[in-house]
Amino acid sequence: MGLIIKVAGGLLLMEGEKEALEGKEVKYFDLYPERSYKEGSAAQTHFRLAESQFYRLLNTGMTKTNLVKVEYVLNPDLVHHFRGQRPCASYRHWLVWKGCLLQ
């Protein structure tokens, strides 16, 4: 199973992320680039995903831009609500795909 899938599914958590998910307060994590790749690092996976999206949005070939920090915002209420709606969204997608439900 890929790291991004594990992170998205909540199987791979950063230090302090589990405790933040169990609470009600919004938690902020500062993530920084690292020179060497750490296999299985949730923090580095979050950083690299945000970095790749940032560079895609820039879409400027010759600009010298470096991403020096990513602020990962964890909102426990939003995460729980999103995870609770996943089965419904998956079933709805299946119904649309089968032609049983009009979009």
The per-residue pLDDT for range 9-48, each reduced to its tens digit, is 666 788 999 999 999 999 999 999 888 877 778 888 889 8
Angle (CA) 10-24-49 rounded to 5° is 35
The 3-class SS string of the chain reads CCHHHHHHCCCCCCCCHHHHHHCCCCEEEEECCCCCCCCCCHHHHHHHHHHHHHHHHHCCCCCCCCCCCEEEEECHHHHHHHHHHHHHHHHHHHHHHHCCCCC
pTM of the shown model: 0.67
Q: For 39-74, how does the pLDDT look when each residue is reduced to its tens digit (9 = 90+)?
A: 778 888 889 888 888 888 887 665 677 889 999 999
Counts for the chain of helices (H) and strands (E), in that order: 4, 2
